[in-house]
């Protein structure tokens, strides 16, 4: 970050761009449009620019500039990544090369782009991972400053929210006729993401928060008995043992994603400039 960038971080408004215009991107764009202290929305990126412009004009009364993911870093200090996971590198590399900030939602894709963290370390860029659909990453990170003995996460999802996952297709599971819960995965978080690239970012975020994705143990259930994306996390460590559960209400437009996730991004954005930061 050069001195003019540093000045902007201190005094001027931070410029924010949003890459991906779906279940997470739209509410985040709306919140930035409605106003977050110290932040200014400068651009968005969508697969279908025309549709995004129509949506913004209808819903917000103006269309913010739309541009390709790889160019968002040219017009923003902070770029929110909420696009399909295979596009994380394309969006993040130029932002990090410029020493800027990526707020990453496709956390699982950090594992298949292992150059991004060293790139950020070299340039002074930063990758911020909101807690997203999860909870308690602050406590897991604190416990990791001591000795963690185990971290487990058991995920139960309504069958509908697992539709399209490669693992479900490989199992030949008919999600429409499930009567009983079916376990679709058991193993380390690091191995789950290739089978569920759009469903288990939370397990990778949990792993990265403390015990490592290879030691963080995950079970995934397609459960016709739940209507919410449910994650139950248990941690044992030399400072504390804790168990946490979250039941996320799926977003209608994209039931793979819960309502809390865009709110978590908005909260992360607010904390970029807030004078008081809780749970930092």
Ligand X SMILES: NC(=O)C1=CN([C@@H]2O[C@H](COP(=O)(O)OP(=O)(O)OC[C@H]3O[C@@H](n4cnc5c(N)ncnc54)[C@H](O)[C@@H]3O)[C@@H](O)[C@H]2O)C=CC1
Ligand Y SMILES: O=C([O-])CC(=O)C(=O)O
- Known binding site for NAD(+): residues? 133, 201
Calculate the CA 5 to chain-centre distance. 25
Single out the residue of 18, 32, 69, 192 in contact with ligand X (rule: CB under 6 A).
Answer: 69
Residue 261 backbone phi and psi in degrees, to 5? -65, -50
Indicate which residue of 168, 231, 258, 266 is catalytic.
231
Binding partner selected for residue 148 from ligand X, ligand Y, none, CB under the kind-specific 5 to 8 Å limit: none
Please state, in angstroms and rounded to a whole number, the distance separating the CA atoms of residues 228 and 199.
Answer: 13
- Footprint of ligand Y on 102-141 (CB under 6 A): 133
The two structure tokens encoding residue 54: 């129509």
Of 47 and 183, nearer to ligand X (C-beta) is 47
> Which span (44-52, 136-144, 159-167, 218-226) binds ligand X, by CB under 6 A?
44-52
CA geometry: angle at 136 spanning 32 and 150, to 5°?
Answer: 145
Single out the residue of 256, 265, 269, 272 in contact with ligand Y (rule: CB under 6 A).
Answer: 256
CB atoms within 10 A of CB 27: 17
- Minimum CB distance to ligand X, residue 111 (Å): 13
Binding partner selected for residue 200 from ligand X, ligand Y, none, CB under the kind-specific 5 to 8 Å limit: ligand Y
The packing angle between helices 116-123 and 88-97, to 10°, is 20
Of 39 and 198, nearer to ligand Y (C-beta) is 198
Reduced to 3 states (helix: H, G, I; strand: E, B; else coil), residue 219 is strand
Q: Give the annotated binding-site residues.
A: 133, 201
Q: Which residues are CB-contacts of 240 (< 8 A; sequence separation ≥ 6)?
A: 139, 143
Binding status of residue 202 toward ligand Y by CB under 6 A? yes
Active site residues: 231
Q: Which residues bind ligand Y (CB under 6 A)?
A: 133, 198-202, 229, 248, 256-258
């Amino acid at each position: 970050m050069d001195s003019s960038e540093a000045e902007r971080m201190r005094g001027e408004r931070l410029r924010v761009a949003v890459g991906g215009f779906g279940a997470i991107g739209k509410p985040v764009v709306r919140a930035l449009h409605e106003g977050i202290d110290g932040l200014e929305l400068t651009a968005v990126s969508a697969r279908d620019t025309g549709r995004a412009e129509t949506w913004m004009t209808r819903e917000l009364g103006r269309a913010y500039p739309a541009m390709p993911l790889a160019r968002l870093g040219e017009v923003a200090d902070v770029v929110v990544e909420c696009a399909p996971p295979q596009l994380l590198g394309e969006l993040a590399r130029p932002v990090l090369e410029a020493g800027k900030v990526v707020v990453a939602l496709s956390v699982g894709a950090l594992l298949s782009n292992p150059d991004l963290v060293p790139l950020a370390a070299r340039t002074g860029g930063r990758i911020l991972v909101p807690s997203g659909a999860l909870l308690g990453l602050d406590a897991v990170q604190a416990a990791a400053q001591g000795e963690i003995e185990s971290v487990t996460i058991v995920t139960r999802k309504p069958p509908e929210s697992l539709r399209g996952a490669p693992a479900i297709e490989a199992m030949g599971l008919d999600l429409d006729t499930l009567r009983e819960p079916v376990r679709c995965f058991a193993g380390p978080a690091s191995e789950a993401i290739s089978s569920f690239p759009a469903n288990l970012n939370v397990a990778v975020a949990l792993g990265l928060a403390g015990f490592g994705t290879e030691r963080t143990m995950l079970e995934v259930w397609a459960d016709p008995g739940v209507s919410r994306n449910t994650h139950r996390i248990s941690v044992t460590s030399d400072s504390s043992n804790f168990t946490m559960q979250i039941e996320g209400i799926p977003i209608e437009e994209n039931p793979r994603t819960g309502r809390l996730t865009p709110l978590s991004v908005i909260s992360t954005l607010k904390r970029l400039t807030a004078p008081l930061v809780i749970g930092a």
